[in-house]
Amino acid sequence: MKPALNKNEPQVPTSWQAFLQGPALAQAIGKQLQPWWQQIFGYYLLKVGDLSSDLDLPGCNIKHQVHLGSSDNGKSHLIGLPDTLPIDSNSIDAVLLSQCLEYQADPHHIVREAHRVLISDGYLLLTGFNPLSVLALAGIAPWLKQRYPWQGRFFSPGRVKDWLHLIGFEVLAEQRFFYGSMLVNDYADNAVQRFAEQYLNYFAGCYVLVARKRELPLTPIRQHWQLTPAFADGVKGVSARQGCR
């Protein structure tokens, strides 16, 4: 498997205002996740990263939402790194990773950490930037390399799904959305956007993956004991009375 290490670790964005059209993207993510909150229940939802913590999640039925950030910004309940979560194993019902893998040195390990802290059948909700999109294509310009979101490294949904399957997740859904260029401040909902949503969904700028942690029970296989037959194979079916005649 091709390594996913990011040698040039970019600076992690601390809010959606760091992106042009960032608030519009945050609203679009919340809209994509909203139908899932009718199916996800539990006690604890872990929002990993400042961007995840800054998302509004209307309709979420999980009462305790734990915010893990990189600094004490007044919103974080815990301060830590996504690849070394200060959380006990098998203790969280759902984990949210929003635009997190793109700005970390070892994104594959972050997914492993999410798997570790989740309970069996817990949910992982992950959003990221699609490298096969007009949004990613704009990042080829040299003068955009140091701007968000192009500072990060984009991973395709297919590659992230391979990581999830390898670790032990079952991917339940994939959805692509958001057609803004993130080159200007205003996000316009016009005929071009609606055409792209209908016919160019594969090339949308962002995607959301919903996966569930699966653990197969290790049931020991009992050995079937066989009694030694009372007669040799040659006399099977012959009764003792017949043999005395």
CATH number at residue 147: 3.40.50.150
pLDDT at 203: 92
- pLDDT of 9 above 70: no
Q: Is residue 6 part of a domain?
A: no
- Determine which of 100-104, 193-197, 209-213 has the lowest per-residue pLDDT on average: 193-197
The β-bridge partners of 78 are 68
CA distance 232 to 240: 13
Contact 63, 43 (CB under 8 A): yes
Mean pLDDT of the chain: 86
> What φ, ψ does residue 58 adopt, rounded to 5°?
-65, 140
Strands 206-213 and 169-177: antiparallel
CA distance 16 to 175: 21
| Band of pLDDT at residue 145, cut at 50, 70 and 90 | confident
Q: HEC profile for 107-173?
A: HHHHHHHHHHHEEEEEEEEEEEECCCCHHHHHCCCHHHCCCCCCCCCCCCHHHHHHHHHHHCEEEEE
Q: What is the pLDDT of residues 213-236, one digit of tens each?
A: 998 765 666 666 665 565 555 555
Prediction pTM value: 0.83
Q: Which two tokens stand for residue 56?
A: 């509004």
| Band of pLDDT at residue 206, cut at 50, 70 and 90 | very high
Residue with tokens 């601390």: 14
- pLDDT of 21 above 90: yes
**% of the chain beyond a pLDDT of 90:** 61
Number of DSSP helices (H) and strands (E) in the chain, helices first: 7, 7
CA distance 34 to 17: 22
Give the mean model confidence (pLDDT) for residues 104-115: 94
Give the mean model confidence (pLDDT) for residues 13-35: 94
Where in the sequence is the domain holding 160, given as residue range(s)? 16-217
pLDDT at 187: 83
Contact 79, 59 (CB under 8 A): no
Q: Is residue 237 part of a domain?
A: no
Give the mean model confidence (pLDDT) for residues 18-31: 94
For 47, the 3-state DSSP assignment is strand
Q: Is residue 77 part of a domain?
A: yes
Q: What's the full length of the chain, in residues?
A: 245
Total domains in the fold of the chain: 1
Contact 82, 110 (CB under 8 A): yes
- Determine which of 68-72, 198-202, 234-238 has the lowest per-residue pLDDT on average: 234-238
Q: What is the pLDDT of residues 151-170, one digit of tens each?
A: 999 999 999 999 999 999 99
Taking alpha carbons only, the member of 192, 167, 168 closest to residue 181 is 192
Q: Is residue 229 part of a domain?
A: no
Q: Is residue 104 part of a domain?
A: yes
pLDDT at 207: 97
Q: Is residue 139 part of a domain?
A: yes
- pLDDT of 109 above 90: yes
- pLDDT of 32 above 90: yes
| Band of pLDDT at residue 37, cut at 50, 70 and 90 | very high
Q: Which two tokens stand for residue 242?
A: 């017949």
Q: Is residue 103 part of a domain?
A: yes
The continuous run of DSSP H or E covering 212 comes out as strand 206-213
Q: Is residue 152 part of a domain?
A: yes
Give the mean model confidence (pLDDT) for residues 238-244: 52
Following CA atoms 133, 149, 171, 116 in sequence, which dihedral angle do they give, to the nearest 10 degrees?
160
Taking alpha carbons only, the member of 51, 76, 214, 200 closest to residue 130 is 200
